[in-house]
Amino acid sequence: MNSIGEQFIKLTKHSNLGPSDQSSGKPHPPIQMEYSENQPVILLPKPSEIKTEFLDVRRIIEQRKSIRSYSKVPLTIEQLSYLLWCTQGVKAVFQGTITLRNVPSAGARHAFETYLLINNVDGITPGLYRFLAVEHGLISVSLDKYMADKITKACLNQTFIKSSAVTFLWIAVPYRMNWRYGERGYRYLYLDAGHVCQNLYISAESINCGTCAIAAYSDDELNQILGLDGKEQFVIYLATVGIKEESNAKTVIV
């Protein structure tokens, strides 16, 4: 009998795919999960107004590594805005159905939402938030004071989650991808997750922050904490961010 992984590869080959919902004329899925219009939005600094030092790309790439220990110096809201812009920033919206962003995505489907566990960011109350990529703002999901403990436990007690300034939690909305690509779209979700996380590593390194990607977690427990059904939306990847201990309060965003 083939392993689960072998079955996944076999069943998502092009030769096994039927007509997609796109080719069948079904409506285009929303480019962003809905939220209440009555919910306050924390608008982040505009990316065009954030200035960064010029740094050599090769040096940034060569210096990049996973870092699990962070300074207690808070991340600034400008730094957070910059990291969100680099990882899921929307450069253009076409006819309300397609977005172009700062990361590649199969067919420009961009099937992710970004949740943030904020622990230590200037001017933002600790808690769980969702990034609105189109508006470039945040909405609060939960201000539960035990949220960091709950997410840490669901991530197999990787305690550096609690000491990070912010932990990015990328949520996959598979139908946004599968509408065009059918079951093969699940392959593309995981490829896209790598694109997004690498952008976080590079952009964080450019402002003297450390990052550590996390793929070890209890899917069911973490989805439940975030209020996700585990099918139509589910956690696909995480990464912690914080200012490097050796850089102290140094920042290259002004």
Question: Is 197 inside a domain boundary?
Answer: yes
Residue with the two structure tokens 């030769």? 15
**Does 75 reside within a domain?**
yes
Nearest to 47 by CA among 136, 180, 171: 136
Position 57 in a domain: yes
Reference 117, options 238, 217, 207, 247; nearest CA is: 238
DSSP letter (8 states) at residue 46: P
Q: Is residue 19 part of a domain?
A: no
Q: C-alpha 115: how far from its chain's center? A: 7
Contact 11, 187 (CB under 8 A): no
Q: Which amino acid is at 55?
A: L
Would residue 55 count as lying in a domain?
yes
Domain count, the chain: 1
5 in a structural domain: no
Answer yes or no: is 24 within a domain.
Answer: no
- Residue 89 CA to residue 136 CA, distance in Å, equals 7
pTM: predicted TM-score of the whole model, two decimal places? 0.94
Q: What is the pLDDT along the chain (254 residues), one digit of tens a residue?
A: 689 999 999 999 999 899 999 999 999 999 999 999 899 999 999 988 888 888 899 999 999 999 999 999 999 999 999 999 999 999 999 999 999 999 999 999 999 999 999 999 999 999 999 999 999 999 999 999 999 999 999 999 999 999 999 999 999 999 999 999 999 999 999 999 999 999 999 999 999 999 999 999 999 999 999 999 999 999 999 999 999 997 433 444 43
Expressed as residue numbers, the domain containing 80 is 39-247
Question: What CATH number has the domain bearing residue 215?
Answer: 3.40.109.10
Please check whether residue 11 lies inside any domain of the structure. no
